[in-house]
């Protein structure tokens, strides 16, 4: 299905504007990350307490996530992540508190829901684990290495399939996507945990897929229209893939927005991260990567011309 037929938007003519907009966004997000001392890491990466509770039903009525969350908020416990586990009729609560803070949290829940929290019940606390900061730091290092390794592998793949310069541009665009997304998360005060890292890796895959489709069309058209100017060929290639890019972005955004609205707090961070990444990734795939490739091709040709002139 094509919703945009025979478009001729002048992407190449506006590339200086794209560079300025991208620079402003990138620097703003980078400054935000530096000023805030880096992203705000979740318990997965910093250490904390993980408690699995199995409250008993009272008169056939079970507790739900919203009741527990509201009870904790009334006592200023704002950093807890609460996940319902339907298979075991229990709740998993993750917080950056230490053991003493965990005792206070449990005492609050017992006061708020005495009919559901029977202290004498041996199955009330299914598990209680403390994640040390050392383990969290090690996990954070592995997650960062996973992102960096994926960028290097993508660079190698595009180098083999296209050219090294094109791979370098694609890797740069992916770094732009990742840093801008992290900057937005920092500005919004969203913690970076395993779900956010999963979102970042998904963004990398989504963005590079868009970029490769456009690169492939540019390569084909450069062979078909050798007598035409490179800027005209590049602009035509972006317009030829525009319908596909718009449909893919729109349908994916609908899914992400549905997750944000109806998915609940557990999946919110992933959905929000992916939503930001889709917008940023689409911009970099359409407006940054192809135009940077064009400027790279022009620079290489000019350099070869200068060398021939000297000979």
Q: How confident is the model at residue 3 (pLDDT cuts 50, 70, 90)?
A: low
- Same-domain pairing of 126 and 147: no
Q: Let me know whether 165 and 65 are in one domain.
A: no
100-120 confidence digits (pLDDT tens): 777 888 888 888 888 888 767
Q: List 82's β-bridge partners, or say none.
A: 93
Residue in 181, 180, 177, 186 with CA at minimum distance from that of residue 151: 177
Within this chain, do residues 109 and 252 fall inside the same structural domain, yes or no?
no
Q: Cα–Cα distance between 7 and 242 in angstroms, integer?
A: 8
| Residue 201 located in a structural domain | yes
Write down the pLDDT at residue 263.
78
Q: What is the reported pLDDT for 307?
A: 60
Tell me the per-residue pLDDT of 214-232, one tens digit each, with 9 for 90 and over.
888 988 888 888 888 888 8
Please report which confidence band the pLDDT of residue 31 belongs to, taking 50, 70 and 90 as the band edges. Answer: very high
- The residues near 119 (Cβ < 8 Å, ≥ 6 apart) are 110
225 shares its domain with 272: yes
Alpha carbons 142 and 140: distance in angstroms, whole number = 5
Residues 91 and 114 in one domain: yes
Whether residues 244 and 209 share a domain: the answer is yes
Q: Within this chain, do residues 294 and 153 fall inside the same structural domain, yes or no?
A: yes
**Domain presence at residue 6:** no
Within-domain flag for 3:
no
- Half-sphere exposure of residue 172, counting CA atoms within 13 Å on the CB side? 16
> Based on the domain organization, do 24 and 61 belong to the same domain?
no
Q: Do residue 126 and residue 220 come from a single domain?
A: no
Answer with the residue of higher pLDDT: 272 or 7: 272
Domain of residue 73: give its range.
48-131
**In this predicted model, what pLDDT tens digit does every residue of 8-21 receive, in sequence order?**
888 888 999 999 99
Domain-located, residue 267? yes
Question: What is the per-residue pLDDT across 199-214, written as a single tens digit (0 to 9) for each?
Answer: 888 888 888 888 888 8
When comparing pLDDT for 144 and 282, which is higher?
282
**Does the pLDDT value for residue 123 go beyond 70?**
yes
Claim to verify: residue 255 and residue 139 sit in the same structural domain: yes
251, 199, 200, 241: which is closest to 220 by C-alpha?
Answer: 241
Last residue of a domain, which of 83, 115, 131? 131
- Tell whether 221 and 84 lie within a shared domain: no
State which of 131, 163, 178 marks the end of a domain: 131
pTM above the 0.85 mark? no
Q: What is the pLDDT of residue 136?
A: 60
Number of domains in the chain: 2
Residue 101 belongs to a domain with what CATH number? 3.30.2130.10
Judge whether 29 lies within some domain. yes
Which among 71, 141, 143 is positioned nearest to 108, based on CA atoms?
A: 71
8 located within any domain? no
pLDDT of residue 305: 62
Q: Which of these three, 131, 154, 181, is where a domain ends?
A: 131
Q: Which of 48-52, 86-90, 154-158, 300-304 has the lowest mean pLDDT?
A: 300-304
Q: What is the mean pLDDT of residues 16-28?
A: 94
Would residue 124 count as lying in a domain? yes
The answer to whether residue 66 is domain-embedded is yes
Q: Are residues 158 and 181 in the same domain?
A: yes
Return the pLDDT at 131.
67
Assess whether pLDDT exceeds 80 at residue 44.
no
């Amino acid at each position: 299905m094509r919703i945009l037929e025979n478009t001729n938007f002048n992407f190449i003519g506006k590339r200086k504007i794209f560079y300025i907009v991208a620079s402003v966004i990138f620097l703003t997000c980078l400054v935000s990350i530096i000023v805030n001392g880096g992203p705000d890491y979740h318990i997965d990466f910093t250490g904390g307490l993980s408690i699995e509770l199995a409250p008993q039903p009272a008169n056939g009525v079970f507790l739900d996530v919203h009741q527990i969350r509201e009870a904790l908020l009334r006592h200023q416990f704002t950093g807890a992540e609460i996940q319902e586990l339907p298979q075991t009729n229990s709740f998993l609560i993750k917080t950056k508190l230490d053991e003493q803070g965990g005792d206070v949290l449990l005492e609050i829940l017992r006061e708020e829901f005495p009919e559901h929290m029977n202290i004498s019940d041996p199955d009330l606390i299914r598990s209680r684990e403390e994640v040390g900061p050392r383990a969290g730091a090690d996990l954070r290092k592995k997650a960062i290495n996973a992102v960096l390794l994926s960028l290097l592998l993508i660079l190698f793949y595009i180098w083999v399939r296209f050219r090294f310069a094109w791979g370098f541009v694609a890797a740069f665009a992916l770094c732009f996507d990742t840093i801008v997304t992290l900057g937005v998360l920092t500005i919004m005060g969203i913690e970076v945990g395993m779900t956010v890292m999963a979102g970042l890796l998904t963004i990398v895959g989504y963005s590079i897929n868009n970029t490769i489709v456009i690169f492939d069309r540019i390569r084909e058209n450069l062979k078909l229209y050798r007598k035409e100017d490179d800027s005209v060929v590049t602009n035509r290639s972006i317009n030829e893939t525009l319908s596909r890019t718009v449909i893919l972005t729109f349908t994916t955004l609908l899914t992400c927005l549905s997750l944000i609205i109806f998915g609940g707090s557990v999946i919110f961070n992933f959905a929000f991260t992916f939503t930001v990444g889709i917008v940023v990734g689409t911009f970099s795939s359409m407006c940054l990567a192809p135009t940077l490739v064009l400027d790279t091709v022009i620079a290489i040709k000019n350099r070869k011309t200068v060398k021939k002139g000297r000979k």
